[in-house]
Amino acid sequence: MLSRPPRVLPTAVILSLLFLSSCASSPVQERQMLVMDTILRVVAYGRDVEAALEAALTEARRLEALWDRHRQGSEIWRVNRSAGSEPVSVSPETVALLQAALQFAELTGGALDVTIGPVVDLWGFGSGEGRIPPGQLLREALHLVDYRKVRTDAERGTVGLAEEGMSLDLGAVAKGAAVDALWSVLKEAGVRSALVDLGGNIRLLGSPPGRPEWLIGVQDPRDPSRLLGYLRLAGGAVATSGDYQRYFMVGGRRYHHILDPRTGWPAAEVASVTVWAPTALQADALSTALFVLGPERGYEMACSLPGVEALFVLPGGQVKLTPGMQSVFRVNPP
């Protein structure tokens, strides 16, 4: 479905403000493209980084072709089409991503569940035409949502879904996994200072020239043109899940794309969650899961995971930060 409009147009979910802070003497190269339904931005500092940047863009297109469930012939499309019958042969990175997603599902008690596809379809978030689904259909679709019914076999290189009608939707994890893959491409090509940003899923490589930290802006979920503040990060990855990224309004209520797999309804306890974690996959998976878990249980989970910090923005605008996030968050730019 190449005709779908990209979901995030001119601004990424998190604006990286490295341009404000970059040192003019170090050459910088930037590439942008539309991929995975959003904007990819790759910025690399140093000389001779062009080939690495091109290789990163090629990798992004390759992974999109594997993981877009709406693209006819993609690996996820084939797995979904075979639901209820034989497992499907897929590439090692697809098995690895599914296995990681299932671990996050276990860890979060199913708050993150990539078998949410049938429910996402009912709400119309994949097609861009949002609607409130009839309760009966929602209940039927919920029976098909269960990550324990995904079969992965790394040795055989297969993935299967136990029941007909099930479908995988990697929307909550694929961008993070892709950012990690692009980051590795850059690193292996010898790039020492770079930032990969795929629709607000960001991973940092090295440090920006002349500075110890990157400066990442965090958007205000109720006015995404405004920044709530800044994160000063020496490394790692950041992702935000928000109720403002894809939604429709009915009767003054906001219906958005992060769904609680227990109810099939949009999770309503927070407006956005920003996660800082060692890898972009962790940040992506956990930002969605903590959004569903909410500001109490989600906060506790973030505190319990080593290397993971979180910032919750509540629907009323209050901000709740884990201690480690507090130490890198500033309201005003330096």
Residues lying near ligand ADP in the complex (CB under 6 A): 112-114, 116, 120, 125, 169, 171-172, 175, 199, 241, 245-246, 257-259, 261, 284, 287-288, 292
SS3 category, 163: coil
Q: Using an 8 Å Cβ cutoff, are 102 and 150 in contact?
A: yes
198, exposed or middle or buried, with CB in 10 Å at 0-12, 13-18, 19+? buried
Angle at the Cα of 199 (from 197 to 200), degrees rounded to 5? 65
Determine the angle formed by the axes of helices 280-304 and 174-188, rounding to 10 degrees.
120
Comparing every residue's Cβ against Mg ion, the nearest one is: 288
Closest contact distance (angstroms) between CB of 114 and ligand ADP is 5
Least Å distance, CB 118 to ligand ADP, is 11
Quote the least distance from Cβ 113 to ligand ADP, whole Å. Answer: 5
SS3 71: coil
Interface with Mg ion, residue 113, by CB under 5 A: no
Choose the contact partner of 68 out of ligand ADP, Mg ion, none; CB within 5 to 8 A by kind: none
The partner in contact with residue 279, picked from ligand ADP, Mg ion, none with C-beta cut-offs of 5 to 8 angstroms by kind, is none
Helix axes 50-67, 92-107, angle to 10 degrees: 70
Q: Does 172 bind Mg ion (CB under 5 A)?
A: yes
Per CB under 5 A, 152 contacts Mg ion: no
CB of 179 or CB of 233, closer to ligand ADP: 179
Q: 46 vs 130, which CB is nearer to ligand ADP?
A: 130
Transcribe 250-279 into DSSP letters.
Answer: ETTEEEES-B-TTTSSBP-S-SEEEEEESS
Partner whose binding site includes residue 292, from Mg ion, ligand ADP, none (CB under 5 to 8 Å by kind): ligand ADP
Least distance to ligand ADP from the beta carbon of 111, Å?
A: 6
- Let me know how long the chain is: 334
Centroid of chain to Cα 323: 23
**Which one, of 166, 198, 201, 4, lies nearest residue 76 by Cα?**
166
Whether the CB-CB separation of 203 and 280 falls below 8 Å is answered with yes
Is the CB of 209 or the CB of 294 nearer to ligand ADP?
Answer: 294
288 touches Mg ion by CB under 5 A: yes
Complex with ligand ADP: residue 46 or 278, whichever CB lies closer:
278
Of ligand ADP, Mg ion, none, which one sits near residue 112, judging by CB under 5 to 8 A according to partner kind? ligand ADP
Instruction: Establish how many alpha carbons lie within 13 A of residue 209's alpha carbon, considering only the half-sphere containing its beta carbon.
Output: 16
Q: Which residues in this chain contact Mg ion in the complex, by CB under 5 A? A: 172, 284, 287-288
